[in-house]
Structure 1
Amino acid sequence: MPDPAVVLITGASSGLGKATGQFLASRGYRVYGTARNPGRYPDFEDFPLLAMDVCQPESVRAAVARLLEQEGRIDVLINNAGVGITGPMEETPYSEVCEALETNFHGPLRVMGAVAPQMRKQGSGFIVNITSIAGYMGLPFRGVYSASKGALQVATEAYRMELRPFGIRVATLAPGDYATNIASGRYHTPLSETSPYRDTYGKSLELMDAHVDQGGDPAEVARAVYRILQKRTPKVHYTVGSPLQRFSLVLKRILPDTWYERLLRNHYKL
């Protein structure tokens, strides 16, 4: 990669995207972030923000074209834009299910499709898709979110093999819980007085919010992204999170499904 490498980070106005952009900029990368409406952040000075809505193909193409017009290349793409969603699978409005998948799964695929031709032309590039530890398992009342991140994880495996002959490296990074504003911005299926899930969903929601509030420093994710970008032959999947969150993936691999399910049920008091 040339020095400085040009980096595009989606969903970079706050949270993990912003922390990653700040860290990479401090390491000499030429960072550009995206936000659906950069005008909402008039005091944002950490790095340039381009207007991009990952749910709108024309918006994605226009942002990538604008970056290429300014820099002439894109060396790194970090697909970070995403939304949270909670609720019982049965009661979550299907329109909200589709919207979450549109942002968390279709969105990253659109952005990869927009930058891949330029990276192929360059003969080099690096794509890191931010997934989630939740994407390794179907979490109760977070099933739609888990499914969207799990889908991105599996699609990345295929994309990685397809892009490898063109000198483009691809990997995923799955964070655990970090102290960001995702809890305040995610969609919550309303708690109905008559819902059979009222008590269990309500308790699980409180537990989820507590996990985010007590989550780690987003700078840990930024440092993990930086370490991945230094790899000449990166692994397919990386994780970052608390020891317990990462150990949960070890248990997922080695325990029978019903045993692991029992652990989750106990954790969420189901």
Structure 2
Amino acid sequence: MSGLNHANIRKAVLETTDDKSVIALVDKIYKDAGCPLLDLSVDAAQAVMNVNFLATVRLVNAVLPRMAKRGSGMLVTLGSLCGELGTPFSGLYNASKAALHAYTETLTLECRPLGIDILLISGGSVISNIANNQAKIYKMPQNSLYKDFTKQIVRRLYASQGNNAMPTAIFAEKVVRTILLPRPPTYLCVGGNTGMYYLLKWLPRTVALWILWKVMARP
């Protein structure tokens, strides 16, 4: 990687066979992603996009041509409700998932003549150590314009781990059951708080965003 010296390239050490290495890198990326957009650098944005979006593109480019030759196969991508309706203080994560959603939906159309099934999972709140670890290590930049919102930002980091969060085992079971259906759907919304998001998506966009801001930015 010595030749990768562009200012917009961030190098990181990752040993995919080492759980601690994977967790450390993911924690760092989520630490960069979980704060106001104006506090984030282009480097941070590229790191988040690399994990949440471009990694899928690389996988698709490597695997789908082989599925196409066989005339069958299935690709499952893990999106997020935040990719459909963004929440404040998690902008880069929202953007990366929105990109993944648009990319997956296009694949759904383009892979129809190839015999490949595509499933986009729009995940709600699911119990995970990632969010809790992110909240513990979050530090607001000294020059942040959002110092008065520190409490709200930290609360947003924990939001997906509230009482409505779906246990990981149940989430996995629902996903696997859907994948194994004789004719699986192209979209699955599963996890905690999905009902709330369903209602918000039916409201006028301006109203839905106003509600999200009032909920997330309350003192």
Tell me the equivalent position of 1:177: 125
More helix by share: 2
Residue 39 to residue 105, structure 1, CA distance change in 2 (3 Å)? closer
Most deviating of 139-148 and 184-193: 184-193
Provide the residue aligned with 1:257 in structure 2.
205
The residue identity in structure 2 corresponding to 1:155 is Y
Aligned partner letter, 1:37: E
Partner of residue 191, structure 2: 241
The question of whether the paired residues in 2 share the 8 Å contact of 1:239 and 1:246 is answered with yes
- Residue type matched to 1:199 in 2? D
1:149-228 alignment, distance < 5 Å: 149-184=97-132, 186=134, 190-212=139-161, 214=163, 215-228=165-178
Name stretches of at least 5 consecutive residues in structure 2 with no aligned partner.
1-13, 23-28
Equivalent positions of 1:3-22 (< 5 A) are: none
RMSD value, Cα: 2.5
**TM-score normalised by L of structure 2:** 0.78
Percent identity (aligned): 27
Deviation (angstroms), 1:141: 0.8
**Residue 102 of structure 1: aligned partner:** 50
Q: Structure 1, unaligned stretches of length 5 or more? A: 1-35, 43-51, 53-82
8 Å Cα contact 2:131/2:160 also seen in 1? no
- The answer as to whether partners of 1:87 and 1:201 remain within 8 angstroms in 2 is no
Structure scoring higher RCO (CA < 8 A, sep ≥ 6) equals 2
Higher strand share: 1
CA–CA separation in structure 2 for the residues paired with 1:209 and 1:144: 17
State the one-letter code of the partner of 2:172. Answer: A
Are the structure 2 counterparts of residues 141 and 210 from structure 1 closer, same or farther at C-alpha, using a change threshold of 3 Å? closer
Give aligned pairs, total.
194
